[in-house]
Structure 1
Amino acid sequence: MNRLKKFTSFSLRDLVASAGPTILGIAAVCIAAYLIVDPAPPRKVTLGTGQDNSAYDVFGKKYQELLKKEGIAVTPQGSHGSRDNLKLLKEGKVDIAFMQSGTTDEAAPEREGLVSLGSLFTEPVWLFLRAKEGAPPLAQLTQLRGLKINIGARGSGTPRLVRQILAVNGVEREELQTTQLDNTPATVELLEGRIDGLVFAAAPDDPLIQMLLQTPGIYLFDFAQAEAYTRRLPFLTHVTLPRGIVDLGRDLPARDYHLIAPTATLVAREDLHPALVELFVQAAARIHGGAGWFQQQGQFPSAKYTEIPVADEAAKFYKDGAPFLQRYMSFWLANFLDRMWVLLLALSALILPLSKIVPPLYVWRVRSRIYRWYGQLRTVEGAIEDAVEVAPEERGPIYAEQLVRLNEIEERVNHLSIPLSFADDLYGLRSHVHFVRQRIEGLMGTAAPAP
């Protein structure tokens, strides 16, 4: 049984030795392609958000939670708003950020190096004013002249937006008393009566907006000319705050309000890895795809309402949906296959020629262990043929020496471990050894006896 264990249907050692160099070569090519052809996406990304408890801050935490499940660590970077985020993007301090449409001009150089991932939700312009006893609510923005208005925090996109809105009404900023406080202190100033009004540009679920919509003595300005604003400022849209949307039981508000609204967009540096662009857009669809006060189901995210060019990967998502592989696989596996498809295609084309090379190498390696003993056998025969040239009395010792050598060869051959499929080659070698032995023994019978 111990001898039979030496014989197998195939030789694993020879198979590994034959296919090993090919496999190692393919592995080396795969590793080089993985590291060089298209680097893997980074596992950390910085997201520019906004002021504490603002809509940007709340949504930033939602992105952080969703992408954490995919193995991406999102670090929120607080700011005052859109203008600050634009600066952080240009300086490379954040990779992606929330920005308000209209923050950059359509032909401005500050757009260079940035791409949009689409618009996420509308951010209506909320102009809250203190009601004055006996005075009707303001109906035109020109009536703001001389009033003290907080136009938004420094670094946010709201001051720029307010100046544009006032400009189309022919109102200069100098005609108002303006402050630029953060949202929370500005709200306190309004409630205390130290300012006449304040402007927000935020989603309706902002806690401060929810509070002011229900505060007695504070009313919301109605942009009755909202449609005209959208023609003059294309990044704005006309939205309606429906009657009773805040509180149906108390009928708040008591009528429909017309509002103008820029949109919140995701803007990234153009060198952000394409896989991360796809992942953020998919997260945006999950976070912002539902219905709301000013949007229908599936209206957002969208490639519309942004003056910054939309990234190719984002545009493809809005047109065709999520990449095919990511619908059925984890993000990292799908990304790996998507990055390596060119290499996989090339390797699949090499399978046929490689499959024709490895088997002959395997056969040659196994048979080479037999063929090398044929070389030893030819050496013995060469020594016998050379003995013919010496004196007859000297041939006996030569034949005896070669017979001993032949016995050693036969002993080594008997211990060869050969797959059963090559047994005929082994037995052929043994028969040839026997043939040479018979020849030597025949010559020894005719040779002079050794001294």
Structure 2
Amino acid sequence: MGRYSRDFIAFVRKYLKYDLRREIVAWWNIAIFYLPIGVVVAALFLAILVYIEPFPREPTVLAIGQRGTLSNQLGGAFQSYFERQGLPLDIRSRSGLDAVEKDIRDPGSDINASFVVSGAGSPADYPGLVSLGNVAIAPAWLFYRGDTVQVDDPFQYYRNKQIAVGAPGTVSARLFSTLMDLNNPGTGDQPNFLKLPHVEAVEQLRAGKIDAVFIVDGFSSPVIQQMLSDPNLKLMNFPLVDAYVRRLPFLQKVTVPRGAIDIADIRPESDIALLASSVNLLVEKELHPVVQWTFLLAARDINLKSDNFFPAADTFPKYRDRRFSLSPIATRFYTGGVPAIFSYLPLWLAALLENVWVVLLALLLLGLPVFNKIIGFRGFASQKLLWLHFWELRYLEDELVAARTAEDMASVIERLTVLDTKTAETWVQDDQMRHYFNLRRSINSTIQDAQKKIALLKKF
């Protein structure tokens, strides 16, 4: 071991033995000195913490549609993702969009979010809500019995036939009315347009009681799968799908390829063009950022793990229906992607830091000046503590001058010794070191003067 290594080790030992203890004592004294300011700072910090609100105060409530539908499946998938992240998500089933709209408009309702299919609602129907984008695709399926129907306008064909269009206020009923009115004005609501729940409509179609069923739902929906697997039911082709999309931009074209339902029996016998809409995820404007990020990441995770029948669904979540304004969180998601911080921290913490990164950057930029200020406070406290010791020394000197007996002088010497011990234990900043040694010398000098006075009194 070299000389410099030994010197360094000796320095570390000396520091640990003497200076570290002084440092701790000094900071303890400084903490007591600045205690009133510390209380104010702590109160401000708590106020900021309450303002930032790192955790949602109440469980998030998501409104979904009928049981067994796409929105019901999505709701379950979102709930599972939230549970994995340690966040509560309550699911509330609603009979239709009318019920959802009523809940949204009710100030006492606890609904925070809802699925709304594009074209079935407008921003005016959902005041106070913003979009997190489209999270799924919902084709418009028209199933029928009998011989193959080949017409340009299926809605014109079924204008006078018994067709189930969905329960009142549902996405299916609203979209059917819109599409029927497009080329057949004034016929959007007819007595032969039966507003039945999906399950009942399918039962009546398979029993031959009605001619057709119009349903807006996802490919994986149990109701849709039930009809696709029935060889007695046929799926209507929409030859004018491109024209419909041009007239109604919130719609898009999807295709069921020939043989995609049953490749052995070649069902369908030819490509089937369908109209499709997207499922919007709408949330309250003030919904907690952590919850919004969780919804977006859940939508991405669900889409990646799903076996999407239609290629158009592979891009979700996506901002397609631009009638609904994006939330600021969703805007950051779609413009900048998922921040890298989400790969290293728990979701709630990553979302919190991402939401307050501007504040953190400002604090970082102010960090050096603040640090310098803290060092200044430290130096001020060091000087102040020394000055307090000087003042105590002066008072003891005054008592020593006034003392007339050996006992009084011995009492002063005892307190001077205590003062010397306190001074020796006080951590002193470098530029205050000369004052420290001046104080120690002054204390020792005063003790010597007191001892001389005691010796003189004993002589007499």
TM-score category, normalised to shorter length: 0.7 to 0.9
Change (3 A) 1:7 1:148: closer
Change (3 A) 1:408 1:154: same
Deviation at 1:154, TM superposition (A): 1.9
Superposed CA offset, 1:276-295 (max 9, x none): 22221121111124562222
Relative to structure 2, which stretch is displaced further, 189-198 or 209-218? Answer: 209-218
Out of 117, 120, 132, the residue aligned to residue 103 of structure 1 is: 120
Out of 360, 374, 388, the residue aligned to residue 354 of structure 1 is: 374
Query: Per the alignment, in what secondary structure is the counterpart of residue 218 of structure 2?
Result: coil
Change (3 A) 1:210 1:9: closer
Query: Per the alignment, in what secondary structure is the counterpart of residue 122 of structure 1?
Result: strand
2:285 paired with 1:282: no
Change (3 A) 1:313 1:180: same
2:290 paired with 1:292: no
- Tell whether the 8 Å contact from 1:131 to 1:137 is kept in structure 2 after alignment: no
Rg (Cα) greater in structure: 1
Tell me the equivalent position of 2:6: none
2:220 paired with 1:214: no
Change (3 A) 1:305 1:190: same
2:180 paired with 1:166: yes
Q: How many residues align?
A: 421
- Tell whether the 8 Å contact from 2:105 to 2:126 is kept in structure 1 after alignment: no
Out of 323, 329, 347, the residue aligned to residue 307 of structure 1 is: 323
1:187-226 equivalent positions in 2, closer than 5 A:
187-226=202-241
Out of 384, 406, 409, the residue aligned to residue 364 of structure 1 is: 384
Tell me the equivalent position of 2:272: 257
- Return the letter of the residue paired with 2:384: W
Query: Per the alignment, in what secondary structure is the counterpart of residue 22 of structure 2?
Result: coil
Query: Per the alignment, in what secondary structure is the counterpart of residue 282 of structure 2?
Result: strand
Change (3 A) 1:9 1:210: closer
- Tell whether the 8 Å contact from 2:19 to 2:427 is kept in structure 1 after alignment: no
Tell me the equivalent position of 1:432: 446
Change (3 A) 1:441 1:173: closer
Query: Per the alignment, in what secondary structure is the counterpart of residue 235 of structure 1?
Result: coil
Tell me the equivalent position of 2:22: 10
Could you tell me how far apart the structure 1 residues matched to 2:458 and 2:160 are? 133
Could you tell me how far apart the structure 1 residues matched to 2:458 and 2:374 are? 52
Change (3 A) 1:324 1:137: same
Deviation at 1:75, TM superposition (A): 0.4
- Tell whether the 8 Å contact from 1:96 to 1:268 is kept in structure 2 after alignment: yes
1:372-387 equivalent positions in 2, closer than 5 A:
372-381=392-401, 383=402
- Tell whether the 8 Å contact from 1:101 to 1:307 is kept in structure 2 after alignment: no
Deviation at 1:264, TM superposition (A): 0.9
Change (3 A) 1:219 1:306: farther
Relative to structure 2, which stretch is displaced further, 54-63 or 355-364? Answer: 355-364
Change (3 A) 1:312 1:30: same
- Tell whether the 8 Å contact from 2:55 to 2:348 is kept in structure 1 after alignment: no
- Tell whether the 8 Å contact from 2:26 to 2:427 is kept in structure 1 after alignment: no
Normalised by the length of structure 2, the TM-score is 0.82
Query: Per the alignment, in what secondary structure is the counterpart of residue 311 of structure 2?
Result: coil
Query: Per the alignment, in what secondary structure is the counterpart of residue 352 of structure 1?
Result: helix
Could you tell me how far apart the structure 2 residues matched to 1:53 and 1:230 are? 28
1:35-50 equivalent positions in 2, closer than 5 A:
35-36=50-51, 40-50=55-65
- Return the letter of the residue paired with 1:155: G
Superposed CA offset, 1:291-331 (max 9, x none): 62222575111111342122221122011112343332112
2:34 paired with 1:28: no
Deviation at 1:156, TM superposition (A): 1.1
Relative to structure 2, which stretch is displaced further, 206-215 or 433-442? Answer: 433-442
Query: Per the alignment, in what secondary structure is the counterpart of residue 72 of structure 1?
Result: coil
- Tell whether the 8 Å contact from 1:120 to 1:263 is kept in structure 2 after alignment: yes
Query: Per the alignment, in what secondary structure is the counterpart of residue 75 of structure 2?
Result: helix
Query: Per the alignment, in what secondary structure is the counterpart of residue 128 of structure 1?
Result: strand
Tell me the equivalent position of 1:182: 197
Relative to structure 2, which stretch is displaced further, 405-414 or 416-425? Answer: 416-425
Normalised by the length of structure 1, the TM-score is 0.84
Out of 425, 428, 435, the residue aligned to residue 419 of structure 1 is: 425
Change (3 A) 1:67 1:10: same
Change (3 A) 1:319 1:421: closer
Change (3 A) 1:81 1:241: farther
Could you tell me how far apart the structure 2 residues matched to 1:9 and 1:315 are? 53
Change (3 A) 1:362 1:86: same
1:32-71 equivalent positions in 2, closer than 5 A:
32-36=47-51, 40-71=55-86
- Return the letter of the residue paired with 2:202: T
Out of 114, 120, 127, the residue aligned to residue 142 of structure 2 is: 127
Could you tell me how far apart the structure 1 residues matched to 2:52 and 2:115 are? 31
Gaps spanning 5+ residues in structure 2: where?
1-16, 429-435
More helix per residue: 2
Query: Per the alignment, in what secondary structure is the counterpart of residue 315 of structure 2?
Result: coil
Superposed CA offset, 1:106-140 (max 9, x none): xx6324322111111221110011115xx755553
Relative to structure 2, which stretch is displaced further, 6-15 or 179-188? Answer: 6-15
Could you tell me how far apart the structure 2 residues matched to 1:11 and 1:200 are? 76
Tell me the equivalent position of 1:334: 350
Could you tell me how far apart the structure 1 residues matched to 2:246 and 2:287 are? 34
- Tell whether the 8 Å contact from 1:95 to 1:272 is kept in structure 2 after alignment: yes
Query: Per the alignment, in what secondary structure is the counterpart of residue 62 of structure 2?
Result: strand
Change (3 A) 1:161 1:342: closer
1:222-241 equivalent positions in 2, closer than 5 A:
222-241=237-256
What percent of counterpart residues are identical? 24
Superposed CA offset, 1:173-216 (max 9, x none): 45561211111111111111111111110111112211212212
Tell me the equivalent position of 1:388: none
Change (3 A) 1:24 1:332: farther
Deviation at 1:241, TM superposition (A): 1.0
Tell me the equivalent position of 2:334: 318
Superposed CA offset, 1:319-354 (max 9, x none): 111234333211232344345556654472422201
